A = this chain, B = another copy of it.
Amino acid sequence: MHNVANIIRDLNVDVSWQRAFYEDLHTHPELSFQEERTAARIAEKLTEFDCEVTTGIGGNGIVAIFRNGEGPTALMRADFDALPVEETTGVPFASTATGTTEEGLVTKLMHACGHDMHTTALLGACAFIDAARSSWSGTFIALFQPSEENGMGAMAMVNDGLANHIPRPDVAFAQHVGPGRAGEIMSMPGPALAAADSIDIVIHGKSSHGSMPHLSVDPTFVAAMIVVRLQGIVGREIPPSEFAVVTVGTLASGNTNNTIPAKARLVLNCRTYNDEIKKNLYEAIERVVQAECQASGCPAPADITYFSHAPLTDNSPEVYERVRPVFDDVFGAYSVDGTPWTASEDFSQIPRHFDTPYLFWMVGATPAAQWEKAVAEDRVLEDIPSNHMGNFLPDYKPTVKASTEAAVAAVLTYLAN
């Protein structure tokens, strides 16, 4: 069996195009389910490789199948949508793009979660793996998933017949950039990311002119009370040793200065590591929401809709035990133990559909000097830009190299001759 680290070391592939490709994606972020341009750029790049490409799966989803004789099938996934965040990095290729949300809101856009890097890295891995055909056999699937941010893209691809377009993978991989020394590969068995659900809540009040509050049932007041009272759930109802997060991502009520609106809308995002906590949390949220509506005499109960379900990302110990030594080989001191992130991902919906074991790892993206200074001063939380912030920008060189090679390494762990 070939040594994966040696294969990577010995490959002589020019991936210098990655920088221009990455910066182009970064300059042109697109919202979930609207990633037409990005998908086109990916598909265009894939024409340079010896693979079968299917586009338009579950919206803008793309799969590229690299067949190379008998052997196992390994899938690596990258996501490619962006966020309604205003970029503040100040780099020359910073985004000034705007987009329109589903709700009709015009907003600035940014690749504030690093999906541009994930996609660039997976395309680089395609180049390497395509060039290394003599060293491996089996099937490599590069899967480019849209709409990760709204938690719907993975299921959209599954529901749009993904299984008709690719063979069942024997193993699946995904990675995510984030705070950490740039180029560090952080992996672990078991839970890596939290389970999450989003909850859309519409509060039914009664509109009136702002000067006549007594004719209204003010949904803005109800919504504010709910936001305030939700804080009591984590602090009062969840065992202090357990993990639970309730975040209000959107609170929208009214759009004039002098009309009390008829409705208010809240969008919550909840995270847990445990099904019982999750059940209790959602019961408490529904209890609080409906009781606050009653307290104001709302004419109808709130509409509560769960969406964007992200399951627990729960790494297979077996896959971890095979891949980790290869990471250690390839990355040396830059292969480290990860700790669970509180964030969530819908990646695992794909291997879950195929009953395939999987590994998800994190890639540090913070310039090393900045990271070390923050660690030394115990100011990581305060000083290091994190995903979804307007100043989050991976340190390009070490991050693209590590994330490209990590994808190659994980895939070849299973496919190398």
A47 within 8 A of B: no
A–B Cβ pairs within 8 angstroms, 16 of them: A83-B256, A85-B207, A105-B105, A151-B258, A194-B211, A211-B271, A212-B239, A213-B240, A220-B251, A221-B248, A231-B234, A240-B244, A249-B257, A249-B259, A254-B267, A257-B269
Interface of A: prevailing SS? mixed
A228, B218: Cβ atoms closer than 8 Å:
no
Query: A296: which of B224, B232, B390 is its contact (CB, 8 Å)?
Result: B232
Within 8 A of B (CB), among A204-255: 207-216, 218, 220-221, 223-241, 243-255
Interface residues of A (CB under 8 A from B): 83-86, 101, 103-107, 112-113, 149-151, 194, 196, 198, 200, 207-216, 218, 220-221, 223-241, 243-262, 264, 267-269, 271, 276, 284, 287-288, 291-292, 294-297, 307-308, 340-344, 378, 381, 386-390
A291, B287: Cβ atoms closer than 8 Å:
no
Bound together, the chains give a CA A245 to CA B378 distance in angstroms of: 23
Bound together, the chains give a CA A251 to CA B223 distance in angstroms of: 9
A294, B296: Cβ atoms closer than 8 Å:
no
Q: How many copies does the complex hold?
A: 4
Besides the known contacts A211-B240, A249-B256, 18 further A-B residue pairs in the complex with CB atoms under 8 A apart: A83-B259, A84-B259, A104-B106, A104-B107, A207-B390, A208-B386, A208-B388, A211-B344, A215-B389, A220-B251, A224-B227, A249-B260, A251-B254, A256-B267, A258-B344, A259-B388, A260-B388, A292-B295
Query: A231: which of B235, B249, B342 is its contact (CB, 8 Å)?
Result: B235
Query: A381: which of B83, B214, B218, B267 is its contact (CB, 8 Å)?
Result: B214
Bound together, the chains give a CA A387 to CA B259 distance in angstroms of: 9
Note all chain B residues with C-beta closer than 8 A to A287.
294-295, 297
Note all chain B residues with C-beta closer than 8 A to A262.
86, 390
Query: A251: which of B214, B224, B225, B268 is its contact (CB, 8 Å)?
Result: B224
Note all chain B residues with C-beta closer than 8 A to A344.
211, 258
B251, A85: Cβ atoms closer than 8 Å:
no
B246, A235: Cβ atoms closer than 8 Å:
yes
Bound together, the chains give a CA A169 to CA B249 distance in angstroms of: 53
Bound together, the chains give a CA A112 to CA B262 distance in angstroms of: 13
A389, B207: Cβ atoms closer than 8 Å:
yes
Residue among A216, A220, A238, A256 with the highest chain B CB neighbour number at 10 A: A256
A236, B255: Cβ atoms closer than 8 Å:
no
A240, B245: Cβ atoms closer than 8 Å:
yes
Q: A257-B198, A269-B257 are in contact. Are A240 and B240 (CB under 8 A)?
A: no
Bound together, the chains give a CA A15 to CA B292 distance in angstroms of: 51
A387, B254: Cβ atoms closer than 8 Å:
no
Q: Closest B residue to A150 by CB, please name it.
A: B257
A255 to chain B, nearest CB (A): 5
Bound together, the chains give a CA A119 to CA B226 distance in angstroms of: 42
The 4 closest A-B pairs by CB, nearest first: A104-B106, A291-B295, A224-B227, A210-B247
Bound together, the chains give a CA A380 to CA B150 distance in angstroms of: 37
A186 to chain B, nearest CB (A): 15
Q: Closest B residue to A284 by CB, please name it.
A: B297
Note all chain B residues with C-beta closer than 8 A to A250.
253-257
Q: A287-B295, A390-B207 are in contact. Are A105 and B255 (CB under 8 A)?
A: yes
Note all chain B residues with C-beta closer than 8 A to A308.
257-258
Q: A249-B256, A255-B84, A287-B297 are in contact. Are A271 and B104 (CB under 8 A)?
A: no
Bound together, the chains give a CA A255 to CA B223 distance in angstroms of: 15
Q: A106-B104, A249-B260 are in contact. Are A240 and B271 (CB under 8 A)?
A: yes
